[in-house]
Chains A and B, each alone.
Chain A
Amino acid sequence: EVQLVESGGGLVQPGGSLRLSCGASGFTFSSYWVTWVRQAPGKGLEWVANIKQDGSEKYYVDSVKGRFTVSRDNAKNSLYLQMNSLRAEDTAVYYCARQRGSYSLDSWGQGTLVTVSS
C-alpha cells in the first residue's frame, strides 16, 4: 500500500523557518517525481513545488521562490520542504503527493498544518 506521511508542521513566527518532511513507503520512491501542495484554511489547493526523481530538477510556485527549497533523500525514502522567511499567507495544511507521468497526483499524505503567526 502506498503511504505518504508528513511531519514537521507547527506554529512559527513571521520571518521564521520550518522544515517539513514526508516519508514514503509502499512504492519505489526513487522512481517518481514528488510534489508539495498546500491548502490555506477554508481555501482551495495550491501547488507549491515539485522535484524530479534524482533531484536534478525542481520547480516552485512564484510566491515561494527564493524562500522555500524542496529536496529529497532517496536512500531514506523522504521528501523535504525547507521554508524560510515565512509569512502569514504561508499558513496552510501542507500535503506531499506522488506525481504520475501525466502530472496528476495519485497518492497523498494526510497533511501537516503550518501556522505562521505572532
Chain B
Amino acid sequence: EIVLTQSPGTLSLSPGERATLSCRASQSVSSSYLAWYQQKPGQAPRLLFYGASSRATGIPDRFSASGSGTDFTLTISRLEPEDFGVYYCQQYGNSALTFGGGTKVEIK
C-alpha cells in the first residue's frame, strides 16, 4: 500500500499570504493518479486538481499544483478567507485509492 504523508499538519497564515502544502508518497506515484481536495467543516470534500496539476472545474487560478514521483505540492498564491480548511492529497495504485492525512490551513 502506498502511504501519503502530508506536511505540515497545520499551517497558520493570514489572508493574502502564500501557502505551500506538501504530499510525499512512500513509493513512486503515477502523476496521472494524484489528486488534491479541499474540505471545509461540515462539507464534503471538493476536487481541486487531478493528474497532479490539472485544475478541476471552477477552481481559481490562485491555486496551483505540481510534482512527480514521490513529491507533490499544492500552492495557494494569495490566501482568501474562503480558502481556509483541510486539504488532502489522494493517489491510486494497486487497485486502491489512498488519502494523505491532511493539512489544515487556519487563520493566523
Contacts and interface: CB of A to CB of B under 8 A. Distances in A.
Contacts, number: 64
Contacts of A109: 44
A105 B47 CA distance: 7
B13 interface: no
Contacts of A37: 45, 99
A106 B92 contact: no
Contacts of A82: none
A103 B97 contact: yes
A68 interface: no
A110 B44 contact: yes
A59 interface: yes
Chain B interface helix/strand/loop/mixed: strand
Interface in A56-107: 59, 61, 95, 100, 102-107
Chain A interface helix/strand/loop/mixed: strand
Nearest to B39: A45
B96 A105 contact: no
Contact of A44 (B88, B95, B96, B97): B88
A46 B100 CA distance: 9
Interface residues of B, number: 27
Contact of A50 (B56, B88, B97, B99): B97
Contacts of A103: 33, 35, 91-92, 97
B35 A104 contact: yes
Given A103-B33, A104-B35, A47 B45 contact: no
Interface of B: 32-33, 35, 37, 39, 44-47, 50-51, 54, 56-57, 86, 88, 90-92, 95-102
12 contacts: A44-B86, A45-B45, A45-B88, A45-B99, A47-B99, A95-B45, A102-B35, A103-B35, A104-B35, A106-B50, A108-B45, A109-B44
